[in-house]
């Protein structure tokens, strides 16, 4: 009841605060950029951004095709029926595969690779062609068993990359000043499926067990915490605005772009989003504030973490869309965190053959990990934005910690980037 009341208050505040944007129609479509990252190791973050932007671009292409149909009245019966049919037959499969490919291959699968193995995937037909899709990822050529927190991180990998997709969609829409209806459809899909998984997914059941086992917690109690955490998704203003933009502004009125909701303080636009992640020691709400400055976009994110007897804090500050020399544009960010230590690998293998596990001895009891791990990380993305094309690179570096990839070790990533700009 308390969660429902909180959600209702948040929805009411959103509608009142953004009343002007709910009525507004953009007179000129703002340029939209779609970036693709080429990471030789195909890790979670770069791959998720690429898959999400590919889905955005496909939905934008659909809009261009439908806009050329000889339908005079955008709100007429045949126009609405055409958009509804396209939403079911085209939008839903695109959004379904964006979610599934990121969740399975770049969430669970990429985590298997981080811990020394490979994976194989079984991906079925997308919605609505299969109303009960069964998508799976299995470890393959795993050279060693995984310890408790490694198992937890694998189980939670799908949720992590969906949060990455949500953040990318929110940042691009806010920076542009307009929310494309395809972006709204993808954002709502990722948020709603995350909530459904928090309530009833088997991956989260397994994660609760592997979280509780080394810490002697009650797994059912941990699972209840996960279910209750959907409140942080429900109070996200962008979830409700995305549903409104998809169901009414696009489906009924035929608008493919709507003004991005924001609060104005002087000449500065502000907006905040709310999400939740599950971490090996509990749940971690994620509140992020965006501010449109005269020549850049500022983002400030705070991610506290709380479990039965553990806590963490992560803060991240980013400045994006900084125009410097000529066509050169920069996105930079810095993060710092304090978190509990993780229970890492403490197994001894007896024999392997051709990379396939044959026999392992009993686990060596691990000494308790350090109570607190302090970490720092950051990224720099430099891009040359030409008229229709973007070329650049993204470099990410971090110490050990849950931020970005490889939570058990320091990491450096370099990805090449290219993209297109549509007007």
Please check whether residue 375 lies inside any domain of the structure: yes
Please check whether residue 19 lies inside any domain of the structure: no
* pLDDT for res 8: 40
* pLDDT for res 261: 94
Q: Show the domain range for 161.
A: 39-422
Q: Give the number of domains in the chain.
A: 1
Please check whether residue 133 lies inside any domain of the structure: yes
* pLDDT for res 360: 41
Please check whether residue 96 lies inside any domain of the structure: yes
* pLDDT for res 149: 84
* pLDDT for res 321: 94
* pLDDT for res 368: 65
Please check whether residue 108 lies inside any domain of the structure: yes
Please check whether residue 1 lies inside any domain of the structure: no
Please check whether residue 21 lies inside any domain of the structure: no
Please check whether residue 65 lies inside any domain of the structure: yes
* pLDDT for res 180: 97
Three-state SS annotation for the chain = CHHHHHHHHHHHHHHHHCHHHHHCCCCCCCCEEEEEEECCCCCHHHHHHHHHHHHHHHHHHHHHHHHCCCCCCCCCHHHHHHHHHHHHHHHHHHHHHHHHHHHHHHHHHHHHHHCCCEEEEECCCCCCCCCCCCCEEEEECCCCCCCHHHHHHHHHHHHHHHHHHHHHHHHHHHHHCEEEHHHHHHHHHHHHHHHHHHHHCHHHHHHHHHHHCCCCCCHHHHHHHHHHCCHHHHCCHHHHHHHHHHHHHHCCCCCCEEECCCEEECCEEEEEEEEEEEECCEEEEEEEEEEECCCCEEEEEEEEEECCCCEEEEEEEEEEEEECCCCEEEEEEEEEEEECCCCCCCCCEEEEECCEEEEECCCCCCCCCCCCEEEEEEEEEEEEECCCEEEEEEEEEECCCCCCCCCCCCEEEEEEEEEEEEC
What are the pLDDT tens digits along the chain (423 aa)? 344 334 444 444 444 445 445 445 545 789 999 999 998 877 888 999 999 999 999 999 999 999 888 887 888 899 999 999 999 999 999 999 999 999 998 898 888 888 777 777 778 888 888 777 667 777 777 666 777 788 889 899 999 999 999 999 999 999 999 999 999 999 999 999 999 999 988 889 988 988 888 788 898 999 998 999 999 999 999 999 999 999 999 999 999 999 999 999 988 999 999 999 999 999 999 999 999 998 999 999 999 999 888 899 999 999 999 999 889 999 999 999 999 988 764 443 433 443 333 334 444 445 667 778 899 999 999 999 999 999 999 999 999 888 887 787 889 999 999 999 998
């Amino acid at each position: 009841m308390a969660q429902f009341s909180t959600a209702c208050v948040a929805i009411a505040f959103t509608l009142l605060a953004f009343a002007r944007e709910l009525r507004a129609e953009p007179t000129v479509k703002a340029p939209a950029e779609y970036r693709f990252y080429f990471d030789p190791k195909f890790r979670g973050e770069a791959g998720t951004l690429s898959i999400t932007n590919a889905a955005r671009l496909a939905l934008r292409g659909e809009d261009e095709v439908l806009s050329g149909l000889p339908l005079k009245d955008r709100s007429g019966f045949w126009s609405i029926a055409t958009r509804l049919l396209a939403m079911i037959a085209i939008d839903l499969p695109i959004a379904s595969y964006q979610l599934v490919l990121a969740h399975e291959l770049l969430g669970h699968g990429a985590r298997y690779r981080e811990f020394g193995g490979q994976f194989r995937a079984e991906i079925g037909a997308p919605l609505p062609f299969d109303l009960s899709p069964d998508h799976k990822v299995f470890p393959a050529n795993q050279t060693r068993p995984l310890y408790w927190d490694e198992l937890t991180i694998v189980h939670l990998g799908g949720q992590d990359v969906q949060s990455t997709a949500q953040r990318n969609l929110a940042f691009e829409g806010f920076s542009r000043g307009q929310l494309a209806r395809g972006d709204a459809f993808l954002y709502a899909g990722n948020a709603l499926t995350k909530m459904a998984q928090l309530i009833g997914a088997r991956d989260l059941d397994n994660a609760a067990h592997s979280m509780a086992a080394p810490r002697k917690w009650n797994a059912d109690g941990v699972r209840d915490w996960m279910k209750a955490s959907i409140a942080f998704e429900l109070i996200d203003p962008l979830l409700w605005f995305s549903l409104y933009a998809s169901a009414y502004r696009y489906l009924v009125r035929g608008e493919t772009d709507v003004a991005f909701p924001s609060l104005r303080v002087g000449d500065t636009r502000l907006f905040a989003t709310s999400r939740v992640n599950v971490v090996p020691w509990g749940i971690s709400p994620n509140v992020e504030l965006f501010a449109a400055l005269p020549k850049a976009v500022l983002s400030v994110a705070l991610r506290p973490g709380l479990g039965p007897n553990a806590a963490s804090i992560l803060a991240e500050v980013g400045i994006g869309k900084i125009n410097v020399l000529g066509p050169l544009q920069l996105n930079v960010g810095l993060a710092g965190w304090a978190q509990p230590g993780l229970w890492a690998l403490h197994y001894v293998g007896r024999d392997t053959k051709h990379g396939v596990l044959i026999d392992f001895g009993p686990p060596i009891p691990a000494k308790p990990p350090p109570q607190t791990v302090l970490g720092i990380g950051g990224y720099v993305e430099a891009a040359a934005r030409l008229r229709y094309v973007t070329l650049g690179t993204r470099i990410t570096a971090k110490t050990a910690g849950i931020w970005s990839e490889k939570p058990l070790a320091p990491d450096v990533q370099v990805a090449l980037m290219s993209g297109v700009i549509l007007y």
